[in-house]
């Protein structure tokens, strides 16, 4: 005699899994945002970073971004350019610029973080500055490289945990 017993798996708790994924996306987003904020920790100018998450196909998707123009100049770099005092550009009535004769940058290309930097006390006063340009720091690329494997691991871990909670452990 052969007996057949039907084994019916528990119904997957899709809403619970979705909530767990969204919560983990928010947590990872905060961690990635902290990395971006660390690149400006010693700056006087504080760019605002926004977190955007989604579970739509091909999801999950996490984006940390800023619309800050100064951050873009530092991150992507600039070419050599002239900077004129405001009286010559119509932006102010100042006819000269005063700037330190030497300085050390607060950031370094491909390093997630920022330091104190330095400026000499000697001042140069001129109607314009022949700025040598800024070497791209590429913070976004370094942060993406750091988080690529970590993001995948954290998303897989929360999916496994959600599957186990639904009785669908793999």
3 part of a folded domain: no
Count of CB atoms situated within 10 Å of the CB of 135? 13
Total number of domains in the chain: 1
Contact 86, 93 (CB under 8 A): yes
Contacts of 105 (CB under 8 A, 6+ apart): 117
Q: Considering the domain boundaries, does residue 9 fall inside one?
A: no
Q: What's the Cα-to-Cα distance from 158 to each of 19, 23, 29, 32, 167, rounded to whole Å? A: 10, 9, 15, 18, 14
Please check whether residue 20 lies inside any domain of the structure: yes
Residue 7 counted as domain residue: no
Give pLDDT, residue 170.
59
Q: Where are the beta strands (DSSP E) in 9-60?
A: 50-54
pLDDT at 24: 96
Please report whether residue 170 resides in a domain: no
User: What pLDDT sits at residue 9?
Assistant: 67
| Residue 1: DSSP 8-state | -
Could you tell me how many residues make up the chain?
170
170: tokens are 């793999």
For residue 149, what is the enclosing H or E element?
A: helix 139-165
Is 39 part of a structural domain of the chain? Answer: yes
**pLDDT, tens digit (0-9, with 9 covering 90-100), for 68-85:** 999 999 999 999 999 999
CA–CA gap between residue 130 and residue 132 (Å, rounded): 6
Is residue 104, in this structure, part of any structural domain at all? Answer: yes
Tell me whether residue 4 is in a domain.
Answer: no
Is the CB of residue 139 less than 8 Å from the CB of residue 36?
yes
Q: Are 51 and 33 in contact (CB under 8 A)?
A: yes
**Positions in the chain whose pLDDT score sits under 50:** none
Predicted local distance difference test score (pLDDT) of residue 42: 98
Query: Hey, is 15 helix, strand or coil?
Result: helix
User: What is the domain extent for residue 98?
Assistant: 14-165
């Amino acid at each position: 005699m052969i007996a057949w017993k039907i084994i019916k798996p528990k119904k997957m708790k899709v809403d619970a899994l979705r909530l767990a994924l969204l919560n983990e996306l928010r947590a990872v987003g905060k961690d990635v945002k902290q990395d971006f904020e660390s690149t400006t920790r010693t700056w006087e100018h504080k760019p605002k970073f926004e977190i955007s998450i989604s579970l739509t196909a091909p999801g999950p998707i996490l984006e940390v971004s800023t619309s800050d123009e100064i951050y873009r100049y530092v991150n992507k770099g600039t070419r050599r350019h002239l900077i004129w005092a405001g009286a010559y550009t119509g932006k102010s009535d100042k006819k000269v610029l005063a700037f330190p004769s030497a300085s050390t940058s607060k950031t370094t290309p491909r390093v997630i973080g920022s330091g104190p930097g330095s400026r000499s006390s000697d001042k140069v006063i001129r109607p314009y500055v022949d700025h040598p340009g800024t070497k791209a720091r590429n913070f976004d690329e370094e942060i993406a490289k750091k988080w690529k494997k970590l993001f995948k691991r954290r998303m897989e871990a929360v999916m496994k945990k959600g599957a186990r909670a639904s009785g669908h452990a793999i």
